[in-house]
Amino acid sequence: MGDYLAAPRDASSFARPDTRTTKVYHASEAGQVHSSGQPLSSGYRLLSAVCSHQVLDDYSAVALEEAPEELRCRRPACARIWREHANAVNSGNDSQEASR
């Protein structure tokens, strides 16, 4: 499994971003090029949601396990990443316990 981060959507370019509600954390593959078709200079990297390719706020990015469970995106692509990460962490814990 690749290296993933969790971050809320970046709304800094919106004229009137919604600042009243808590934002959902989306999964993002660390180091992937943003792929929404927006023109970017070559070599420029942004965090992009796996579920929608929206630009994410890299200043608010955290490790997947640090994202509060109730604030995690439930779209199929993000949900798959959360599930795979949880399974990988659990299988790692199981193998550590078996070796004791």
pTM over 0.85: no
* 3-state SS class at 50: coil
Quote the CA–CA distance of 97 and 20 in Å, as a whole number.
44
Which tens digits make up the pLDDT trace of 21-39? 888 999 998 765 555 555 4
> How confident is the model at residue 73, as a pLDDT?
95
pLDDT-based confidence at residue 95 (cuts at 50, 70, 90):
low
**Regarding predicted confidence, which is higher, 30 or 44?**
30
> How confident is the model at residue 41, as a pLDDT?
46
